Homo-oligomer: A and B are copies of this chain.
Amino acid sequence: MNGITLLEYVGVFAFAISGASIAMREDFDLLGIYILGMVTAMGGGIIRDIVTQQGIPIFFTSYGAILVIFIATTLAIFLRGKWDDHMLFVTVDAIGLAAFVVSSGIKAIDNHYNLVLFIFVTSITGVGGGLLRDIFARRKPMIFQSDIYCIAGIIGALVLKGAYPFLGKSLSVYLSLIVIVTIRMFCYLKNINLPKVKHFSSKTESQVNF
């Protein structure tokens, strides 16, 4: 097991906990909690593999990841969400985001994807599980509305792609991981968010025409 794989397990662990925690908040039953933990941890990679038509998504043969998801979800059930806002959890989640972005970024570079597809696969791997989690739990997708999260992943992915030809694989991987975790944690601690744009109208949904 190399370093990125180890960090990916950290990501799987953090994402499974976030899925399980949302599931408990939303009153899912026991099976639903485990399913949402699994969807959150594996969803991004599965969407990536489906969109890029890579055959059966690799997560279905990742027994290690599935074991980690089972342990994380079980832990979340015992904690019952008590650590959701704990700095430790936010840090672990940021490491997971970084690991997912970087590992899919390396694969995308190896596959010679163009820039658009490169940004898509790195982003969807990092945030796709959380997006599915919010859709299944019928919540407003968090990634669109709060925190410097997805954008930290995109910046880190671009750093990886830009640095790779000059620094080589190892150094650009470390650099990208550090960039993502630093941006994410700095903005989290300083409560920095992306700007929003106020819609001029206050019309209700039923009045919209398209």
Contacts and interface: CB of A to CB of B under 8 A. Distances in A.
B197 A144 contact: no
A165 to B, nearest CB: 22
B30 A140 contact: no
A40 to B, nearest CB: 10
Contacts of A63: 116
Nearest to A97: B210
Interface stretch (A31-39, A98-106, A174-182): A31-39
Nearest to A77: B197
B144 A25 contact: no
B24 A84 contact: no
Interface of A: 18, 21-33, 35-36, 46, 50-53, 55-57, 60-61, 63, 66, 77, 80-82, 84-85, 89-90, 93, 114, 116-117, 120, 130-131, 135-136, 138-147, 150-151, 188, 193-201, 205, 208-210
28 contacts: A18-B210, A24-B197, A26-B140, A28-B145, A28-B196, A29-B146, A30-B195, A31-B144, A31-B194, A32-B143, A50-B51, A50-B53, A51-B56, A53-B55, A56-B117, A60-B114, A61-B117, A66-B116, A80-B197, A80-B199, A80-B200, A84-B201, A130-B210, A135-B135, A136-B141, A138-B139, A140-B205, A188-B209
